[in-house]
Amino acid sequence: MTEWHTASASDLGREIGTGAIDPVELTQSFLSAIDAHPYGDRIYARTTPERALAEAEAARTRAQNGVRRGLLDGVPISWKDLFDTAGVVTEAGSKLLSGRVPQNDAVVLARSTRAGLVCLGKTHMTELAFSGLGINPSTATPPNVNDPELAPGGSSSGAATSVGYGLAAAGIGSDTGGSIRLPSVWNDLVGFKPTHGRLPLDGVVPLCESFDTVGPLCRTVEDCAGLFAVMDGTKAPDLVGATLSGKRFLVLDPYASDVREAPGAAFQSAVSRMAQAGATIETGRIAAVDEAMNTTLSLYTAEAYGTWRDEIEAAPEKMYDRILDRFRQGRSVMAADFVALWQRLRQLRQDYLRATGGYDAVLIPTAANLPPDAARLMSDDDYFVTENLLTLRNTRVGNLMGVCAVTLPTGIPSTGIMVMCPPGDDARLLRIAAAAEQALA
């Protein structure tokens, strides 16, 4: 049964459909693996065995009666601990929210439950989702799948490692500046950030609602497409026949060239394989992106601090000091500046769309660096700051430009290539990603 823990969610769903896998046995296998795993407590904040087994029993009955609700009916997945779960503690990785028990499921969780997915439990995360590194001394720091001594990526750290270590068939996380894509790349997964606003945020603990998105961390693009459709309440995009032949891509500098050696080499290798599969590759720079990256980052800190100011200042001693410092950077942003920056960013987004209109997608390395040493991040303030900023740099391009984005593993550990399409082109992006996935295999 160990092969169940390395199979894609879609393959597990197909086996449930043929009767080869019993959803209850599958769920129990994952729950037992979590309990027995040496890193189980560092990955899961809490499991929900009663709920999971009840959902699995219902999925078994539907499978036996031939009335499954879809391909993923009966497949067990994990949920980042900022998705509300009715009657179950949801703390968003922060002691500020210790003991918080919501009354209702988040909308995307409720939709997933109606589609038959099994909720294994809630995974650890960066405190209030405000860092790309995945370090959280307040609760737990999950281990990187390639080296437990390295940072796992954040803020959806446990979501990624639950999949990477075979303790969930897929994970659901959130992404404000890269929090799905970063833990995905560092743990060799596919991560999908949908268009902002496409999936509902009701029942999701916020960081910056103007940028917050939710999405899946998976083994395959097919899994991402299926889970996206479930949370969207729509039909999964058709990935059959996806091809790179005739596609035209823009490699965006300096975000593609100004990277460290290993991620840069992996990216170039991936781009070369995509070209061999029929894609046309061009390189260019877009002034709108550079300006946005240099001038609008205070939008994050201002909104985050405005959202959490009362809770933070009532008990700042409960917070990890480096995350507290990040929030407090938003204290000095004037309201007039905030409004003006948003007005300018909306114009820059239009400039970006005009500049990229002739391309099928834009490509950059998902992360400009490899996972840093977790212990040093805890002991060295300067190292934490520089690595966190570099870690988030490339993924934040996608959030600032308002696009949808997928990260794909390159085949070299903890490196990835990010594919970005205009807002609303989620289905087309997933088809391109599926074709790229085949080229990179």
Assigned domain for 312 exists:
no
Task: Give per-residue pLDDT as tens, 12-61.
Answer: 999 999 999 999 999 999 999 999 999 999 999 999 999 999 999 999 99
Task: Give per-residue pLDDT as tens, 239-251.
Answer: 999 999 999 999 9
> What whole-number distance in Å separates Cα of residue 405 and Cα of residue 124?
23
Task: Give per-residue pLDDT as tens, 117-140.
Answer: 999 999 999 999 999 999 999 999
Assigned domain for 216 exists:
yes
Assigned domain for 302 exists:
no
**Angstrom distances, CA of residue 162 to CA of 2, 147, 159:** 15, 15, 5
Q: Are residues 193 and 261 in the same domain?
A: no
Average pLDDT over residues 159-173: 98
Among the listed residues 86, 144, 130, the one whose alpha carbon sits nearest the alpha carbon of residue 329? 130
Assigned domain for 435 exists:
no
Query: What are the residues whose beta carbons fall under 8 Å from the beta carbon of 165, sequence distance 6 or more?
Result: 37, 39, 43, 143, 145
**pLDDT confidence of residue 127:** 98
Assigned domain for 109 exists:
yes
Q: Are residues 279 and 209 in the same domain?
A: no
Give kind and range of the element (H or E) at residue 326: helix 321-328
SS3 (DSSP) at 386: helix
Most distant pair of Cα atoms in the chain: their distance? 61
> What whole-number distance in Å separates Cα of residue 229 and Cα of residue 233?
6
Residue 202, number of CB atoms within 10 A of its CB: 12
Is the alpha carbon torsion for 232, 237, 243, 249 positive or negative?
A: negative
Q: Are residues 190 and 331 in the same domain?
A: no
Angle at 427 between CA 426 and CA 429, to 5 degrees: 65
Assigned domain for 433 exists:
no
Q: Is 64 exposed, middle or buried (0-12, 13-18, 19+ CB in 10 A)?
A: exposed
| pTM of the complete model | 0.98
The phi and psi torsions of 308 (rounded to 5 degrees) equal -115, 5
Catalytic site residues? 80, 155, 179
Assigned domain for 287 exists:
yes
Q: Are residues 12 and 94 in the same domain?
A: yes
**pLDDT confidence of residue 1:** 60
**pLDDT confidence of residue 404:** 98
Q: Are residues 175 and 262 in the same domain?
A: no
Among the listed residues 197, 221, 217, the one whose alpha carbon sits nearest the alpha carbon of residue 209? 197
> Binning pLDDT at 50, 70 and 90, where does residue 205 land?
very high
> What whole-number distance in Å separates Cα of residue 72 and Cα of residue 14?
8
Assigned domain for 144 exists:
yes
Q: Quick check: 145 and 165 in contact, CB under 8 A?
A: yes
Q: Are residues 48 and 98 in the same domain?
A: yes
Q: Which domain holds residue 282?
A: 248-297+318-428
> Binning pLDDT at 50, 70 and 90, where does residue 109 land?
very high
Q: Are residues 162 and 269 in the same domain?
A: no
Q: How many domains does the chain have?
A: 2
How many CA atoms within 13 Å lie on the side-chain side of 240?
2
Query: What are the residues whose beta carbons fall under 8 Å from the beta carbon of 197, sequence distance 6 or more?
Result: 213
Q: Are residues 398 and 265 in the same domain?
A: yes
**pLDDT confidence of residue 2:** 64
What mean pLDDT, rounded, does the chain reach? 98
Task: Give per-residue pLDDT as tens, 391-402.
Answer: 999 999 999 999
